[in-house]
Amino acid sequence: MKHIAVFVSGGGTNLAALIEAEKSGLLKSGTIRCVISSREDAYALTRAQENGIRTYVVRKKDFASQGEQDAHMISILESEQIDLIVLAGYMSILSEEFTRTYQNRIINVHPALIPSFCGDGYYGLRVHQAALDYGVRLTGATVHFVNEVTDGGAIILQKAVEIKEGDTPEILQRRVMEEAEWKLLPQACELFCADRLEVSGRKVTIKE
């Protein structure tokens, strides 16, 4: 059984999807061991606590340097014997050193079909506004490994979502969550925890 740490900053809807997946048995090869938040007021902490999951708050302003913050987070992860880190609406940037330490062990869900509408500055509603402004017919979500380039890691899973007449960024955000993010993230976690992902450079192969 693999141990999972979920990094959060806000409401924790993707965390809720992972908790439900574990309860339902969709996520059966891994367990959510702890939740680490960059903000003490994140509702995701409440979601975790209500489900008996240990929580930690690690705020950037509490450390003199990025290196000190990294060392603190690594000490938590090591004490919890973490195998997989999941970024679920985590709004802090991880350092190159941190991502290298956990190479191919950090995954993120991005609310677009990478390589579209991704990279620096593309987060939250900005992603959906960009898709609407560009006039694309399809958007979606991508689960990918995290490296030192924002949204630049190898792609694990993607799912397309239709853009409809009259969509606002908020409406589109909700549809992408419901139809793609909340489905893909638990699937990707189970694939990782079941040792079914093989990474070779930029390519991820799903083993039978």
Identify the residue whose tokens are 């003199």.
Answer: 64
Domains of the chain as residue ranges with CATH: 2-206 (3.40.50.170)
Do residues 17 and 190 make contact, with C-beta atoms less than 8 angstroms apart?
no
Q: What percent of the chain lies above the pLDDT cut of 70?
A: 100
Longest dimension (CA), the chain: 49
Q: For the CA atoms of 121, 124, 127, 131, what is the dihedral angle to 10 degrees?
A: -160
Q: pTM score, two decimals?
A: 0.95
Give the confidence band of 64 by pLDDT, cuts at 50, 70, 90: very high
**CA 69 – CA 174 distance, rounded (Å):** 33
**CA 173 – CA 140 distance, rounded (Å):** 9
> What pLDDT does 93 receive?
82
Question: What would the pLDDT profile of 134-192 be if each residue is shown by its tens digit?
Answer: 999 999 999 999 998 888 999 999 999 999 999 999 999 999 999 999 999 999 999 99
> What pLDDT does 100 receive?
94
Catalytic residues: 110
> What pLDDT does 74 receive?
97
**CA 25 – CA 109 distance, rounded (Å):** 21
DSSP letters, the chain, are -EEEEEEESS--HHHHHHHHHHHHTSS-SEEEEEEEESSTT-HHHHHHHHTT-EEEE--GGGSSSHHHHHHHHHHHHHHTT-SEEEESS--SPPPHHHHHHTTTSEEEEESS-TTSS-STT--THHHHHHHHHHT-SEEEEEEEE--SSTT-SPEEEEEEEE--TT--HHHHHHHHIIIIIHHHHHHHHHHHHTT-EEEETTEEEE--
